[in-house]
């Protein structure tokens, strides 16, 4: 079964037609990169996948988005439940003003888990999965703000992983980071795909080519091409895609 199956999705910000008839299938344990120039709709599409756009007034959507076969926009779907399964990491690290431990434990606590042993075990597992353990194991009670930008972003990834999502959405997760931290995030994405399905929006085409299995190129609200990443970066079908990935356009 497909993890994400978007069918004929159209999306509007009031009168602005931001996404035009997008259909995109994401298989389990794959990394999909969404690329395209600013304003092309890639972040809008990403946010549709865990209903982040619900919060923006004046928006509407047609078409459907299925998560493991279930329509996530069906009336009986609880958005909180959906977001437990489809987590998100944003462009800027956004740790809470809490300790490192409590940042990661937060999602578990708000979901009503009270078993401290389980919470501790899950926090450690998540921080290890986010490749941050060696750097923070001796300062779990310190403020998350004491960490570097790259460490904070990996902490945010750990926080997203703690509630055991199936999909992790990443909106330019490394764009605010230095090259070393970026490389760590990219390595992490490669490791995480064993257990998670990842959809990443990036402006960095080399990053898209390094981390993803498949790449979708968006332009002016349309998905111009969606194919294996190797194909997109060696022999794209569409001229427009070629112009974008070679930097002749945008």
How many residues touch another protein under the rule CB under 8 A: the total is 14
Round to whole Å and give the CA distance between 70 and 22. 18
Round to whole Å and give the CA distance between 17 and 69. 26
Contact 45, 34 (CB under 8 A): yes
Please report whether residue 242 would count as binding another protein according to CB under 8 A: yes
Round to whole Å and give the CA distance between 204 and 226. 17
Interface map 155-194 toward another protein (x if CB under 8 A): ----------------------------------------
Round to whole Å and give the CA distance between 232 and 53. 28
Cβ-based nearer residue to another protein, 50 or 209: 209
Please report whether residue 240 would count as binding another protein according to CB under 8 A: no
User: Cβ atoms within 10 A of the Cβ of 186, count?
Assistant: 18
Cβ-based nearer residue to another protein, 85 or 231: 231
The region of 35-43, 133-141, 184-192, 236-244 touching another protein under the rule CB under 8 A is: 236-244
Interface map 189-228 toward another protein (x if CB under 8 A): ----------------xx--x-------------------
Please report whether residue 112 would count as binding another protein according to CB under 8 A: no
Cβ-based nearer residue to another protein, 31 or 147: 31
Which structure tokens are listed for 48? 């549709």
End-to-end CA distance of the chain: 36
Please report whether residue 246 would count as binding another protein according to CB under 8 A: yes
Q: Name the minimum Å distance from CB 235 to another protein.
A: 4
Cβ-based nearer residue to another protein, 160 or 245: 245
Length of the chain: 250
Round to whole Å and give the CA distance between 6 and 223. 12
Q: Is the dihedral of CA 167, 244, 227, 179 positive or negative?
A: negative
Site of interaction with another protein (CB under 8 A): 205-206, 209, 232-236, 241-242, 245-248
């Amino acid at each position: 079964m497909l993890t994400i199956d978007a069918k004929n999705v159209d999306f509007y910000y009031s009168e602005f037609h931001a996404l035009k008839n997008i259909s995109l299938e994401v298989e389990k344990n794959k990394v999909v990169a969404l690329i395209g120039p600013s304003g092309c709709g890639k972040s809008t599409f990403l946010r549709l996948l865990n209903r982040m756009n619900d919060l923006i007034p004046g928006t509407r959507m047609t078409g459907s988005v299925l998560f493991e076969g279930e329509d996530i926009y069906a009336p009986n779907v609880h958005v909180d439940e959906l977001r437990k399964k489809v987590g998100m990491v944003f462009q800027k690290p956004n740790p809470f003003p809490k300790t490192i431990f409590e940042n990661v434990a937060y999602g578990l606590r708000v979901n009503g888990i009270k078993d401290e042993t389980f919470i501790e075990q899950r926090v450690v597992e998540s921080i290890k999965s986010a490749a941050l353990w060696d750097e923070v194991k001796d300062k779990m009670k310190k403020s998350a703000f004491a960490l570097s930008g790259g460490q904070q972003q990996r902490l945010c990834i750990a926080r997203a992983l703690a509630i055991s999502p199936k999909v992790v959405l990443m909106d330019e997760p490394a764009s605010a980071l230095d090259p070393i931290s970026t490389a760590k995030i990219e390595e992490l994405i490669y490791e995480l795909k064993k257990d998670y399905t990842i959809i990443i929006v990036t402006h960095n085409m080399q990053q898209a080519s390094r981390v993803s299995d498949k790449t979708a190129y968006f332009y002016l609200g349309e998905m111009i091409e969606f194919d294996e990443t190797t194909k997109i970066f060696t022999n794209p079908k569409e001229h427009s895609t070629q112009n974008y990935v070679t930097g002749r356009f945008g």
